[in-house]
Every structure is written in C-alpha cells, then in structure tokens.
A = this chain, B = another copy of it.
Amino acid sequence: MGKLKVPKNGNRKDLIVKAGAALFREKGFGAASMRDLAENLGIEAASLYNHIRSKNEILESICFNVANRFNSHLDEIETSNAEPLKKIETLLRFHIQQMVENYEEVIVSDREWKHLDDPYLSNFRIQRRNYRKRLASIIEDGIKKGEIKKIDAPTAVVIMLQAVSGIESWHRSTAKISGSELEDNMIVILVEGMKK
C-alpha cells in the first residue's frame, strides 16, 4: 500500500470516482465501504480522505458527471435540424454507447441516485424528470408531424430507457454480439416500430 498513483490523463479525484463506480456497481452503494475502495486502489483508507470527503461525494460526482454528459448531448440534439424520429434514434444510440463504454458510471447513477443527500437528491430527481419530458416532447413532435405512430410518448420513453438498461446483462453474457451489432439491433427493435 502506498500513495495513490495518478495516470497521465487525469487527477486523483477522477481516479477515485472511477474506482468508486466499479465498486458501487459490484456491491451496491449501501454495502460498499470506503475501506473496500481504498483496498481496490491499493492505498490506506485514511489517505483516501485527503482527496475526497465521503462516500456520498463520490456518488455525487458519478451522478452529476453522467447527468452533464446526457444533458449536453440532448441540448445538441434538440437544436439540430434532424427530424424527430432521427433525433430519437441518435439519442438512443448515445444511450446505448454510454451503456457499452461507460456502463459502470451509467448503471450506478441510474440505480443508486436515490442514495444522494439533499440538495443533490432533489436536484437530480428534477433533472431526471426533465430529461424524460424532453425525450417525450420529441416523440410528441414526431406524432404531430405524422412521422411517428400515435403512441403514449412518456410510455415510449420508459420502454426505451428500460430496454437500454438491460445492456447490463449483455456485459455479463459470454457469447455476446459486438457493441455495434447490439446498437443496431436495439435501434431496429425500438425505433422501427414507432415509424408510421
């Protein structure tokens, strides 16, 4: 056990947050301890606290990093000139890619955000609700334009996001298809059905 080794492209806190995401995903936030985390990082528990105040601070970093990433992507899509169905496809591909590439952070933020303390908890809940509403608005826009079938937009959003969260089991699968095949399959199944 020694000092925390810092990779070239990153700082100590990033390293701790990354290891935290892996640990919280594996054990669940409630069951994971700062001692486990220090052990995984190969340092003393006490020296963790030089870099981070608490287990909750790690969860805050994970959740808000993920929220920033998804929110700025959505901002970009909303202001683009693409048709609604194409926007939904692009958003869904981004969700799938995030679940394939950064799945530990994404899964932890999706599953453990209720352990946030206020004001972070209320803030995250509102952001989450708004994000879903904005997706539903794009679908509703597509329905109005006659491009998407008459479906209940909030339900469609829940179905799509829930299906994406199933990628967790893809990571555990032994005989798995590639990430891009997975992405194309999901688009066919989830987007094509909405097309009018």
Contacts and interface: CB of A to CB of B under 8 A. Distances in A.
Interface string A148-160: 0101101110111
Interface in A133-189: 149, 151-152, 154-156, 158-163, 165-166, 169-170, 173, 177, 181-182, 185-186, 188-189
Contacts of A156: 185, 189
Interface string A45-83: 000000000000000000000000000000000000000
Contacts of A162: 162-163, 165-166, 169
B190 A194 contact: no
A170 B157 CA distance: 12
A177 B159 CA distance: 14
Contacts of A195: 193
A155 B183 CA distance: 10
A191 interface: yes
B194 A152 contact: no
13 contacts: A152-B177, A156-B185, A156-B189, A158-B166, A158-B169, A159-B166, A160-B163, A162-B163, A162-B165, A188-B193, A188-B194, A190-B193, A192-B194
Given A162-B163, A163-B163, A192-B194, 20 more contacts: A151-B188, A152-B182, A152-B185, A155-B181, A155-B185, A155-B186, A156-B189, A158-B169, A159-B163, A159-B186, A159-B189, A160-B163, A161-B166, A163-B166, A188-B194, A190-B190, A191-B193, A193-B193, A193-B194, A193-B195
Smallest CB-CB A-B distances: 3 pairs: A162-B166, A193-B193, A192-B193
